[in-house]
Amino acid sequence: MPVRTPDPDPNEPSDDASRDPLGLGDGMGSLPGSAANPAWLSDVELAEMRRRLPMLYVEAIPVRTDGAGIVTQVGILLRATPLGEMTRTIVSGRVRYGETVRDALFRHLENDLGPMAFPLLPPQPTPFTVAEYFPIPGVSAFHDDRQHAVSLAFVVPVTGTCEPRQDALEVTWMEPAEAASDALSAEMEGGRGTLVRLALASVGALR
């Protein structure tokens, strides 16, 4: 299933004032370039770019840790697709032109988990893996029927209260074994069950 992480339109005064009902990944939908963000794309421009270029994403698996830094819980998002289907996913979204990876990661964590999530980002985040999403199933473990996307994936501890916004309905906190289960993997879009398992393996949370 395709990547779905809409962002608000930066031409609007409020972070929640404008959403992307089509799930175009970065909210680049309604307006062409402007003084606020000259790299903003219209729907037509975005579709053209997706036909010609790989798109750069960041993805994050939010976790809770104990005092020793051991992962105790994994946060999985519940979303409704445009067709009304319920699916599980993770924090995900595109990197904007001129934006650092760190800033993009923080922005999407705040968009999906709310401003009180308080993610702990290092000064220079390092992904645990690079995931490649292809529009043709079977090329890799990850699939996005709209585009070829390259995603930098991170494990991010959060210390605050998560209150999902935009198209995320809730965050379900699971023990690592449950998050890595086949049952959850079957509910996750785009092959992200594999990404969650890779994330848990990278922090030594798989048993």
Write out pLDDT tens, residues 57-112. Answer: 999 999 999 999 999 999 999 988 777 888 899 999 999 989 999 999 999 999 99
H-only helix segments in the chain: 43-52, 101-113, 176-179, 182-187, 192-202
| Position 6 pLDDT exceeds 80 | no
- pLDDT grade for 39, boundaries at 50, 70 and 90: low
Dihedral pair phi/psi, residue 8, rounded to 5°: -70, 155
pLDDT average, residue stretch 141-169: 90
pLDDT average, residue stretch 196-203: 96
Q: Which residue has the tokens 């968009």?
A: 111
| Position 10 pLDDT exceeds 50 | no
**Spatial contact of 109 and 117, defined as CB atoms under 8 Å apart:** yes
How many helices (DSSP H) and strands (DSSP E) are in the chain?
Answer: 5, 8
What does the alpha-carbon distance between residue 132 and residue 93 come to, in Å, rounded to a whole number? 14
Count the Cβ atoms, other than its own, within 10 Å of residue 126.
8
Dihedral pair phi/psi, residue 201, rounded to 5°: -65, -35
pTM: 0.77
Length of the chain counted residue by residue: 207
| Position 5 pLDDT exceeds 50 | no
Q: What is the pLDDT of residue 36?
A: 55
Q: What is the pLDDT of residue 7?
A: 42
Under DSSP, is residue 67 helix (H, G, I), strand (E, B) or coil? coil
57-92 core/surface letters (b: 16 or more CB in 10 A; e: else) = bbbbbbbebeeeeebebbbbbebeeeeeeebbbbbb
Segment among 35-44, 70-79, 129-138 with least mean pLDDT: 35-44
Question: How does DSSP classify residue 30?
Answer: S
Mean pLDDT, the chain, whole residue set: 81
Question: Rg (Cα) of the chain, in Å, rounded?
Answer: 16
Half-sphere exposure of 198 (CA within 13 A, CB side): 17
Q: What is the pLDDT of residue 207?
A: 75
Q: What is the pLDDT of residue 97?
A: 87
| Position 25 pLDDT exceeds 70 | no
Regarding predicted confidence, which is higher, 37 or 166?
166
- pLDDT grade for 38, boundaries at 50, 70 and 90: low
